[in-house]
Structure 1
Amino acid sequence: MKLKFLAMAAFASIFFASCSDDDSTDSGTPIVPVEGTISGTYTSNQTFAYGNYSLEGVVKVNPGVTLTFDAGSTITADATTGDNALVVLKGGKLIINGTADAPVVFTEASKIPGSWAGIIMYGDAPINALGGVSTALSEDGNSITYGGSDASHSSGALHYVRVEYAGAKLGDGTKENNAFTFYAVGSGTVLDHLVAYKGADDGYEFFGGTVSATDLVAYGNYDDSFDWQDGWQGQNNSNWYAYQTGKGNFGMEIEASNNNNSYGPKVNNITLKKAAGTVTESDADVQVDAFQFKKEGNGTYNNIIIDGYGNYTVGATTYQGAAVKIQDANTNTNQVNSGKLKLTNVKVTNTTQMSPVGATPAIIVNFPAENWTTTSGATGATITGGAWTTVNGTNLLQ
């Protein structure tokens, strides 16, 4: 681990204890931001004061170590230096103390989606991976075994954090990484007021675990806004907002790794919007639905707005966007028909297939009446914006 501060940093630290939210001391003296480099593996606790930092390489937080960031900091990676990521290993903690007016922003110098690997966190909570196994190997390029036994485990707390231009592969990773990736993260972890901005893969992906998240914004991510597998079962999620523009696949891709189950997650207050003219990530694998359920994915979802999931044409083929699509027969039989999948108080506009449908004519989808309900009064996500949801003068919530 190395940490390089400019001489100005020591002087600036004198003021931190008495800072106000307007980045000045009580006497009106401006706070001078620290400048430094974040790199290597952290083996002891470290707090990064308000400042501007360069993130170099795959930075790791060891078990038993806590990394803390103060409000208002900006951390910039640079793809020209190679792989870059912030990885919290199982037993390590990441504490980010952003605020609505002074979020902590992780970005990349080129501002090109897919230029670094984002924030990756490992916890010790249970998973249920393919084949019903309780451990699996991560697909993020770190090749770490994840899956534990402590459902209430804490990997830290992320408050008012924005991750921009993520989605890069690490090393020989089999897939791109997301803005935020959570492997077996437990319910003791706090996730609130997060923004995934213009990543080349998903905005958020959960690989099992029990963590919940509130006030999430996904904007302009190339793949899905929200995605999970391996038996993620967060129960206290609310206010999820997605706006797909430029390029984007599903609003939410939901699966349970082919394990029939009864522990699906719960999410209240959801808004999924797709801008006109948005293309899919690949015309060879067209994905245009708001919700896609597959591989035994289930859960309870309430107060939902779906808008803009219309037709998409490739050559002579037109794909009809759906509010909800059930991808396979097992999910339809075991989750829809048995009542373990519920979407209530849904408002659908500008979407071709407004009721749940199957991916093929052979999959006839008939939700129990109380498990699929629509209303014109749905409000979706109700999020208070501010500096944390503003990028280059654009309010992401508008």
Structure 2
Amino acid sequence: MKRILLPLATVLITGFSMTSCTIEVNDGIEEAPTIISGDETLKGIISKDVVFKKGNYTLDGIVKVTNGAKITIEAGAVFNVVTTKTSALVILNDGLIDAQGTATEPIVFTTSTKTPGDWGGITIYGEAPIKALNGNTTAVSEDGNALTYGGTNPNDNSGIMKFVRVEYAGKKIGDGTSETNTFTFYSVGAGTVLENLVAYKGTDDGFEWFGGTVSAKNLVSYGNFDDSFDWQDAWSGQNNSNWFAYQVGTGNFGMEIEASSNADNVAPKVNNLTLIRAAGTNPEAANSPEITAIQFKKQGSGIFSNVYISGYKNIGAQKAYSVLIQDSATETGQVNTGKIVVSPMTYLDSDNPLVWGYAFTPNGGKTFTNATTVTKVSLPTGAWATVDGVNLLSAL
């Protein structure tokens, strides 16, 4: 019998006050979860299993799931997030999430003001390994919580998220160095399921991984101000597929990839990747070189197959490339060792075709030929990828 002793903590939900207690796990007498049926406000610490039925809710402030608790969210649940304070949903490394929407009834987190950067998005912590700066196996999060992350279990399970859409997140935090993304994964393990997720119009990255081993399928990063996809700390997910980024209005790199300067890393793998940059999209900072589709730096690696890239144009003196190698160490440690592969690829309606970019000299000068066999990713249609009547997949 596994016994979890929960310290005194309270889940604050309007109309409810639930004080945690000792829970017997795997003994047939596990305490039943609390069932919430909509029209409630969620705030504080969740340290007891809670089920959110289909309905409308308010998420107020930073809500943390911890102490072995699991939150279960039914298809069709909608959370309107309070924007007058820093709000976020944080699954700590001893918490679980089970959020399983459907294509027709997604789980949605949004705001009434519909302003990018309104809140902190969804952050999940796990117990999978990382390689941070200097090869450290732990690091401190940059999400404002300043929590230590990094573990030893590559198959750690933080739960399931399917058909979940997060809107207007990626909040900049006032200390000037911290920020959150729409979806953030700190040392999340391969036992976690991430499928059919939409990151919509956040002011930082759409999806960012800090180490860990989790993989993700059917991702949509739409209109995020910084990078559509980003990772560091030697994230090593091996079973990723069907990623789509659409950059519009404001956007930096399609993908920003690093391994925190650790040459000894396991290259993540992504099969079927589509990066499209709409005409007139500009980087966050004027005259910024952050307009390339895929950038590798600080020993970042990745094996990408069936890659479709379109719309990456020069802006003034700044050049846009399909792939940019930022430093010579990454060229030596990753490109030359076969841990950076982007093939087959087609690069259309973009500047500087058929050659990778290099931000240093001398360099290896890699060329390529556009493949005719590559097509855009195919994703299921439905309400999960529709915002205010706009089909986010219409560019595919």
- Whether TM-score is above 0.5 comes out as yes
Aligned pair partner of 1:387 in 383, 387, 393: 383
- Report the Cα offset of residue 110 of structure 1: 1.0
What SS class does the counterpart of residue 331 from structure 1 fall into? helix
The residue number in structure 2 matching 1:293 is 296
Q: How do 1:364-383 residues align onto structure 2 when only pairs under 5 Å count?
A: 364-366=364-366, 374-383=370-379
Aligned pair partner of 1:35 in 32, 39, 45: 39
* Uncovered stretches (5+) of structure 2, i.e. residues with no partner: 1-10, 17-36
TM-score (norm 2): 0.89
Q: Is 2:160 the partner of 1:150? A: no
The residue number in structure 2 matching 1:242 is 245
- Bigger mean CA deviation after superposition, 259-268 or 377-386: 377-386
Contact 1:328 1:363 survives alignment (8 Å): no
Q: How do 1:98-247 residues align onto structure 2 when only pairs under 5 Å count?
A: 98-170=101-173, 172=175, 174-247=177-250
Deviation track 1:178-215 (CA, whole Å, cap 9, x = no partner) reads 10000000000000000000000000000000000000
What SS class does the counterpart of residue 50 from structure 1 fall into? coil
Aligned pair partner of 1:58 in 62, 84, 106: 62
Distance 2:216 2:369 in 1: 24
Which amino acid is the alignment partner of residue 365 of structure 1?
Answer: G
Identity of aligned pairs, percent? 49
Q: How do 1:299-378 residues align onto structure 2 when only pairs under 5 Å count?
A: 299-313=302-316, 318-354=317-353, 355-366=355-366, 374-378=370-374
Distance 1:358 1:108 in 2: 41
Distance 2:264 2:309 in 1: 26
TM-score (norm 1): 0.89
Contact 1:214 1:237 survives alignment (8 Å): yes
The residue number in structure 2 matching 1:74 is 78
- Report the Cα offset of residue 173 of structure 1: 6.7
Number of residue pairs matched?
364
- Report the Cα offset of residue 373 of structure 1: 5.9
Deviation track 1:3-32 (CA, whole Å, cap 9, x = no partner) reads 2259xxxxxxxxxxxxxxxxxxxxxxxxxx
* Uncovered stretches (5+) of structure 1, i.e. residues with no partner: 7-32
1:170 and 1:155, CA in 2 relative to 1: closer, same or farther beyond 3 A?
farther
Runs of 4 or more off by more than 3 Å in structure 1? 169-173
Q: Is 2:41 the partner of 1:45? A: no
Contact 1:140 1:173 survives alignment (8 Å): no
The CA RMSD over aligned residues, in Å, is 1.6
Distance 1:262 1:211 in 2: 15
1:173 and 1:155, CA in 2 relative to 1: closer, same or farther beyond 3 A?
farther
Distance 1:170 1:311 in 2: 31
Contact 1:78 1:110 survives alignment (8 Å): no
Distance 1:351 1:169 in 2: 31
